[in-house]
Each structure stands twice: as structure tokens, then as C-alpha cells.
Structure 1
Amino acid sequence: MTEIVLINPNTSAATTQMMTSIVRASLPASLTLLPKTARHGVPMIVNSRELKDSAAGVVELAIECSATAQGFLVAAFGDPGVKELRAIVNVPVLGLCEAGMQAAAAGGRRFAIATVTPDLVDDFAAKAAELGLSDRYLGTRLTSGDPRGLASDPHVLQQALEQAVRQCFELDRADAVIIGGGPLGQAAEALTARFARPVIAPLRAAAERMAALAAGRGA
């Protein structure tokens, strides 16, 4: 069986468990999933410094699993360590931001992001530029309040993100909206069913992309 390693760059084991459940549901039975949680860092990455600092831990965990891993899924929306991993392994490496943006932009769609982390907005714009999607990226709509506080209350989090998604569709005229964050995974899954237009849950998008790569259906 093919082993996919899910690496949570956040230090929260509970978040790893939640994200693993979502990814597992989108993978075929032929792919096993090995979850790993960062040993150092913060429970939830909310700014560029924390994002950058988490990359080394991602690479460290990946190297430990490299003998058996046949794919790595970096489960944070800023894709920390993805570039570094791709330079040293010969198996697929996917990040949530890249997978989410590629899914959102499919068919030429214009997309926006709804999230809780204002201090990562510039990183999202940089990722869109890196992927050649700046012309389709309409920007990011933010919830109000402390990101970590919101994430600790699933009901309030979902309500806040739903409002941000609605703004992306109604004010920005987005064709698709990405929920920007691995720890927002449960809210993202719930919101996919609440709008007529596509709401992209990046954990699911990354899992589906990994499944396609493992089956030889993508580059």
C-alpha cells in the first residue's frame, strides 16, 4: 500500500486528528495515511514569522518518514517547507494553499480566500503570484477577532467564515472561495454545502490531488 504522510506544522495534536479525519475520507483505501505533528512551534500559525519558522520542523519530520513515504501533504495553508521538501525527495509534496488555489482556479475561475489570519494575507498573494494565478486571485476577506480565539469556538468560527465567504461572492464577484487554513478544516467542510457556488475546502482539495498523483493521473 502507498503511504502518504500528513504533516501538521502546528503543534496541536487535536488539530492533526481533525485534519487526518478529513483527509482520510477523501483518499482511496489503497493509500494509507500517517499523521505527524510538529514538535516545535505554535498550536496555530497566524503570522509570517511563525509560518517561516515552522518549515524546518516540517522538513525534519519528513526526513524521518522518507524511507517509506510515497507522498507528503503539508497541512498548513501557507505551505511551509514544501519548496524545501521538493528539493530533497522524489515523491509528490503538496501544500494546502497550492492545492486550494489550483482547485479554485480550475476552468479559469476567479477566486478569493476567506480566513481568520490578517498577518498571512501577503503570503497568500505571494503564493498566487508564484503559481501564476495573480490575475485570477481577487484577494482575501477576513473575519474579525483573534484568530486563535475564533478557532477555539467551532460555531462562532463557522458563522464568521460564512459571512466572509458571502462577501467574497457578493462584493468581489468570486467564482470560487477557498477557506484559508488547515485548522479551519471542519468549518470548511460544513461551508461547502451552504453556497451555490464552489467553496473550496483545501484539505479535501489536497487529498483529492494526492490521490490523483498516486494513481498516475497528474503531473
Structure 2
Amino acid sequence: MILLANPNTNAETTMAMCAIAARILPEIQGWTAPHGADLIHTPALLAQAGDQIAQLQPPQGCRGVIVSAFGDPGAVRLAARLDIPVIGIGAAAARAAGAGGRSFAVATTTPQLVKGIDRLMKAHAGQGRYLGCFLTDGPTLSVMKDPALLDRELLDASRRAAAAGAQAVIIGGGPLAEAAQRIDALCPVPLIQPIPEAAALMRPLT
């Protein structure tokens, strides 16, 4: 069994992310943070989520943990504690996007998290060239509450990234996973979906 750990408190988001991961990992189990925010959109909330993830106790029989928030909060500290693999969806996405030396960018809804995303992408891009974040327009929480608006904004950000030279675009956010699937066919360059990328890395363990 692989554990998908959702660092935010929204159980519906956990279920949606598990459903996506289950297409690759049938034996997936979800975990939802008991405290914190239902959407991580500030550095303070990301740090709080990281503290909870770092203390996570996986259930018996767990063979690996996916940290399913794009900033990978607490993933490094959790990996240092456990004797099973821990993969953050941000690192997994950067690894896939930069494969073969591609230039890539991130489309996301969280302007306050850009600095952390930039560091994470550069750390895991390999030979790829990271071009930065392209943001949706409007307040994060308002955009996230309107699926049609979210899709339009993410697609616009993805198109701007492609116009700037990105050969692949990551949709940066665990809660954005369903939107990423909805706009995949419309994106002018390959769209990198973080949860499936992390699930693919865990598949050999099952």
C-alpha cells in the first residue's frame, strides 16, 4: 500500500487526489491533515503543513508516502525519519518536466508561494531549464472556488508559459489535479500532472 498524504484539511480533495493516483496505484490510501488550512496558499500555512507531515506515522504495511501538496511540505524531514521512500509531488513533477533537458514552467494559483516553488523546481529539474511560475489572475481562493474560471485561468497561464518558451508546463498544486486533467488536451505543450508523476515513481514498490 502507498499512502497519499494531503497536507491540507480538505477530505474531499484527498479523495479526488487518491482517485487520480489509483489509476496507477490501485492500492492507494489517503491521509488528510487533522489541523491547518483547507487550502495552502501562504508560506506560513505551508510551514504548518510541513510540521504535520514531518511527524506523520504511516500505517502498517505502507511501502511509500506521496506528499500531495506542490510545495512538498515536510517531505525531506519525513524521508529522514522513515525507512520507506517519500516522494513529494512537486519534486516528481520537476523531474518529469525537465527530462531530456526540456525547458519548463509552472502554472499555478498561489503567488505567495512562488519563491518556494522556484527553489523546489530548480533543485529537482535535473538538466531541464526552469523558466519560472506563470500565475492565474485574481484572488487565489476566489479562483479556486469556481471550476470554470479555474480552468480558464490555468489554461491562460499555460499558454503564456508556452509562449515564453516552455516546452512543458506543470500544473502546480495538489488541489489543481482535477483541473489539470480537464485542460490537458487544450494545452499547446505537454502538461505535467504532479500526482500521476509521483504515482508512477511509486509504482515499482507495489
Q: Name 1:110's counterpart in structure 2.
A: 103
Secondary structure at 1:34 match in 2: strand
Q: Is 1:20 the counterpart of 2:12 in the alignment?
A: no
Could you tell me which amino acid in structure 1 is paired with residue 132 of structure 2? G
Matches within 5 A, 1:106-185: 106-131=99-124, 133=126, 136-170=129-163, 172-185=164-177
| Aligned with 1:98 (options 91, 94, 104) | 91
The Cα offsets for residues 46-73 of structure 1, whole Å up to 9 and x where unpaired, read as: 011111111121233x31x253211000
State the Cα RMSD in Å. 1.5
Give the superposition deviation at 1:39. Answer: 0.5
Moved more, 173-182 or 194-203: 194-203
Q: Offset at 1:125? A: 1.1
State the 4+ residue runs in structure 1 displaced beyond 6 angstroms. none
| CA distance 1:208–1:155, change in 2 (3 Å) | same
Shift of 1:131: 2.5
Distance 2:78 2:132 in 1: 28
Please say if residues 10 and 43 of structure 1, whose CA atoms lie closer than 8 Å, have aligned partners that are also in contact: yes
Partner in structure 1 of residue 200 of structure 2: 208
Partner residue in 2 for 1:38: 33
Deviation at residue 129 of structure 1 after TM alignment: 3.2
1:149 alignment partner AA: S
Distance verdict in 2 for CA 1:132–1:24, change over 3 Å: closer
Once residues 174 and 79 of structure 2 are traced to their aligned partners in structure 1, the CA distance between those partners, rounded to angstroms, is 20
How far apart are the structure 2 equivalents of 1:17 and 1:152?
Answer: 17
| 1:51 and 2:43 matched | no
1:93-147 deviation line (CA, Å, top 9, x unaligned): 1111101100101111110000000001000111123336596110010011111
Shift of 1:196: 4.4
Of the structure 1 ranges 103-112 and 133-142, higher mean CA displacement relative to structure 2 is found in 133-142
Aligned-pair identity in percent equals: 38
Unmatched runs of 5 consecutive residues or more in structure 1: none
Q: C-alpha offsets along residues 129-166 of structure 1, whole Å, 9 cap, x if unaligned?
A: 33365961100100111112211111110011000000
Tell me the distance in 2 between the aligned counterparts of 1:120 and 1:133. Answer: 21
Kept in 2, the 8 Å contact 1:128–1:134? The answer is no
Q: Which runs of 5+ in 2 are unaligned?
A: none
2:183 aligned with 1:188:
no
* TM-score, normalising length: structure 1: 0.89
Distance 1:81 1:121 in 2: 17
Deviation at 1:17, TM superposition (A): 1.0
Q: What number of residue pairs does the alignment pair up?
A: 206
Instruction: State the distance in 1 between where 2:87 and 2:183 align.
Output: 23
